Amino acid sequence: MSEFRSGFASVVGRPNVGKSTLVNALVGSKVAITSARPQTTRTTVRGVRTTADAQLVLLDTPGVHKPKTALGERTNERALATLAEVDVVCMVIDATATVGPGDRHVAALVVESTTPRILVVNKTDAASHDAVGEQLARAAAQLGEFDAYVPCSARTGEGLDLVAAELESRLPPGPLYYPDGEVTDQPETFLAAELVREQLLARTRDEIPHSITVSAEELEDDGRDHPPDVLRLQVVVRVERDSQKGIVIGRDGGVLKAAASAARRELEALLATRVYLETKVRVERDWQRRPQSLDRLGY
């Protein structure tokens, strides 16, 4: 490319195809939490990849699915709204899973838009060479016309350079939207809340994860002396049932303490500063189904 290019790319697909892992890999830093649980991503997270030739701003979107709650409806709307707002769309499918109705539904919406688009077959490290080829053929036959079809493994990095090149080549000439070296525009409070949620997803039983939401804010001055180089945050974990509160806290507080400690260490590494987290767990009944709760919680 002879001139600097910059713009925005939306990363879309059904749940659990590896969108967040792909965004993190392209950015080269963790900007979105990941989990084996479906529908982990609930808001659009921006990750910034800057090279000598281009700045690619990646929008990691929630997985598009058949919603069962008001939260599900809103996450779908958030993901699909990006299709007309970006310079290029990157649709992701799983190399190890059958191309199904969910993929076809997302693809139809992507193809319906006039935005340039590429299709990425992710998780090639978990599939044979022949299986990847067959999946690429199925995608071309069943998912409509895309400008490029790219196999890759976000986990191992194989094929990432080609994915980046296909996306960057479709960006218009433009300026730096973010300073060189900045990888996300998410505030520290958002990162802290998401990292705690990620750790709780890994530590709680199947019925709990969708009922957990986490928020964070800076602790108010309590009049005591605190080290000036410590970021002090209050993290509030909300669940929908009293029984879930006990599970999240764990015996002698073990689950919550372990999750908060792991999240704090990761946040310190990301921000290169010391962090103190004060955690609380509250019950907010049926928050996923109540529009007023979703508004207040930022969904």
Q: Parse the chain into domains and list their residue ranges.
A: 5-168, 188-296
- CATH superfamily, domain 188-296, is K homology (KH) domain (3.30.300.20)
DSSP SS3 for 188: helix
The distance from CA 241 to its chain's CA centroid, rounded to whole angstroms, is: 26
Fold of 5-168: Rossmann fold (3.40.50)
DSSP SS3 for 295: helix
Determine if residue 196 is left, alpha or beta; phi over 0 gives left, psi from -120 to 50 gives alpha, anything else beta: alpha
Distance CA 186, CA 131 (A): 37
Please give the model's pTM, rounded to 2 decimal places.
Answer: 0.88
Q: Please tell me which residue, 210 or 260, carries the higher pLDDT value.
A: 260
Assigned token pair, 179: 């300073």
**pLDDT computed for residue 232 by the predictor:** 94
**pLDDT computed for residue 207 by the predictor:** 66
Distance CA 193, CA 285 (A): 20
Average pLDDT, the chain: 92
Distance CA 96, CA 155 (A): 14
Domains 5-168 and 188-296 share a fold: no
pLDDT, mean of residues 95-104 = 94
Please enumerate in sequence order all residues whose Cβ is within 8 A of that of 42, keeping only pairs 6 or more positions apart, or say none: 62, 71, 75, 213, 299
pLDDT at 1 over 60: no
Please enumerate in sequence order all residues whose Cβ is within 8 A of that of 154, keeping only pairs 6 or more positions apart, or say none: 18, 21, 22, 24, 25, 122, 123, 160
Please enumerate in sequence order all residues whose Cβ is within 8 A of that of 30, keeping only pairs 6 or more positions apart, or say none: 24, 266, 270
pLDDT digits (tens, 9 = 90+) for 8-35: 999 999 999 999 999 999 999 999 988 8
Measure CA of the first residue to CA of the last residue in the chain; give whole Å.
38
Q: Report the percent of the chain where pLDDT is more than 90.
A: 78
